[in-house]
């Protein structure tokens, strides 16, 4: 490699003439992957049981974000209660939008008993 001239040193600076000889900077260290908290894992498990369209919705993404906040963010108990309430409402809304029959409600039990009673009396 030819020696840089005095003009190169003045115009380009002392390091510019030797730019190709300069070593590459080290890449930044890789950060370890983020570990999911117990609330985020539970929300993810509930979302996997839902249809694909619901899992891909903004409401599901927001629920995951709320769960992540509950797991990772330091906050007051009052703030935590508000975020937990919002997460519960998001999950209830998602469950209400999911297709299929929902069982286990006390109303369902009362309706079934009434139908059996009516069937037994012959009406």
SS (H, E, C) 24-65: CCCCCCCCCCCCCCHHHHHHHHHHHCCCHHHHCCHHHHHHHH
**pLDDT the model gives residue 87:** 97
**pLDDT the model gives residue 33:** 87
Stretches in the chain below the pLDDT threshold 70: 1-2, 4, 8-9, 11-23, 101-106, 123
Tell me the C-alpha distance between 66 and 85, whole Å: 10
**pLDDT the model gives residue 21:** 57
**pLDDT the model gives residue 43:** 96
Q: pLDDT tens-digit profile of 36-68?
A: 999 999 999 999 999 999 999 999 999 999 999
Q: How many residues does this entry show for the chain?
A: 123
């Amino acid at each position: 490699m030819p020696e840089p001239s005095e003009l190169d040193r003045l115009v380009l600076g002392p390091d510019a003439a030797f730019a190709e000889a300069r070593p590459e900077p080290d890449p930044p260290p890789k950060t370890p992957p983020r570990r999911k908290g117990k609330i985020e894992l539970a929300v993810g498990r509930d979302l996997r049981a839902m249809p694909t369209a619901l899992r891909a919705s903004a409401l599901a993404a927001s629920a995951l974000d709320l769960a992540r906040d509950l797991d990772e963010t330091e906050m007051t108990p009052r703030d935590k209660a508000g975020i937990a309430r919002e997460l519960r409402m998001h999950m209830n809304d998602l469950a209400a939008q999911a297709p299929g029959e929902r069982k286990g409600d006390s109303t369902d039990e009362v309706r079934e008993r009434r139908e059996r009673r009516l069937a037994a009396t012959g009406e």
